Amino acid sequence: MNTQLILPLLGYLLLVAGISLFAMRQQKKAKGAFLNEYFLGGRTLGGFLLAMTLTTAYVSASSFIGGPGAAYKYGLGWVFLAMVQVPAVWLSLGVLGKKFAILARRYNAVTLNDILWAHFRSSVVVWIASITLLLAFIAVMAVQFIGGARLLESVAGIPYTQGLLIFGGIIALYTALGGFRASVLNDAMQGLVMLAGTFLLLFAVIHAAGGPAQAVATLQHINPQLTEVSGAGGIISGHLLASFTVLVCFGVLGLPNTAVRCIAYRDSKAVHRGILLGTLVMMLLMLGMHLSGALGRAILPDMVVPDLVIPALMMKVLPPFAAGIFLAAPMSAIMSNVNAHLLQASATIIKDLYLRLFPERAANEAHIRRLSTWLTLGLGLLLIITAWRPPEMIIWLNLLAFGALETVFLWPLVLGLYWQKANAAGAISSMLCGALSYTLLVSLKIQWWGFHPIVPSLLLSLVAFLIGNRLGKPISRTLPSGMEQ
């Protein structure tokens, strides 16, 4: 093991533990209902925390490993392509934020499925959404657990199983004990770590390459296409740009772990600050990491596996202690992504499934408190077991889960918010059609008209919503008993 790398990382993990203990104490002092406090932090997020938790919930290992690897392989054109992700926070808060918060407070909604139930009054919608969410979240979180353990293995020399236990155990503990507050406070700290690590690596890469002009000249010498907008091999076409924009920007509106954060903020002022700060942080992270990967080819021109460029650059251009500090950046991205999904999965099981089957137990707050803590911890342990023997080509599992969530949730959420005539038949048709079409297109590797499967799948799910809505019955918008504040 490389102790000079491990010591800064250990200090970072101790900081995570300290923040989680503080959040746990704050949670116990809170006077509101437990479910509202544990899963939403009492709806008290200010602008800075809102921006950081939204950004870090979106950013994952792919932003620090896969994206820079693609930029290394295809050049500066991929850096420009990656920037289409920048408006994701603005879209989430601008389209969903205010309406979500108003409806969530009106219906006392704690989870995304509470919003769907309030819109459509259909248990079928809730069950389809819950099952899809849990299956997709398990796949996404398992990928992140594997990515974190492999990062510790390849860079710090920690054996895979030991790294998995350390990494997974810490996330499970602080999320289970501290709930949403621990998740958000750690997200804020982890966002700052990501920014610091990104700038540290980018400046070191530019310096090692002899400056920006020399780095670009070296890329042109290796392959002139590395400095062109179309990228090496002309891979960046109009079809790819459109597909990528839908998948990683517009489609983010359908990601439950991002959407649920839009109901946890304090007031309109927090939304406006969150949009500004979140968009700025997203731009700096995407630009910094992808530019590091692209310019890194001027330093390491012959890498066989592009995804290893960031760990390799870290060891090449940074002294060991600084490399240990940077190692905390991708670890932060992974941890933030996992805790957002883990908490939402726990909320889905307890609030949307368990209490829907046994509503009389909602009054027993001590029971719900114990169940929430142990269930979140149990889910974390289940993920460790799932990731113990990682399958090959796990990236495709991650993309499948990512797109499946968007095809299931996007239109029911957006049309449910903005179309008064939207009904349960339309939502059910859209969810089933979206999930089925996306799964088939990805599995059979079909690309209609050259687009990624997410584009035709979302179009088909929209058509299915309109047809189903035409055949379904209108929904009364009066509040049902038990849904009032």
- Spell out the residues 6+ positions from residue 193 whose beta carbon is closer than 8 angstroms to its own: 12, 328, 329, 332
Q: 376 to each of 4, 138, 291, 316, 339, how far by Cα in Å? A: 33, 13, 37, 39, 10
- 66 and 248 Cβ atoms separated by less than 8 Å: no
CB-CB neighbours of 290 under 10 Å: 28
pTM over 0.75: yes
Distance of CA 227 to the CA centre of its chain: 30
Per DSSP, helices labelled H in 209-308 are 212-222, 238-248, 256-259, 268-295
Rounded-to-integer distance, Cα 127 and Cα 53, Å: 27
Tokens matching residue 346: 């726990």
pLDDT in tens, the chain (485 residues): 567 777 777 787 788 778 877 877 776 776 666 677 767 666 778 888 888 888 877 776 667 777 888 899 999 999 999 999 899 888 888 887 777 778 877 877 778 888 888 889 888 999 998 888 888 888 778 877 877 787 777 777 788 888 888 878 887 887 777 777 777 887 788 788 888 888 889 999 999 999 999 999 999 999 999 999 999 988 888 888 988 888 888 887 777 777 777 777 778 888 889 899 999 999 999 999 999 999 999 999 988 878 778 888 888 898 877 777 777 777 777 777 777 788 888 888 888 888 888 888 888 878 888 888 888 888 888 888 888 876 554 455 666 777 888 899 999 988 988 888 899 999 999 999 999 999 899 888 888 888 888 899 999 999 999 999 999 888 765 544 444 43
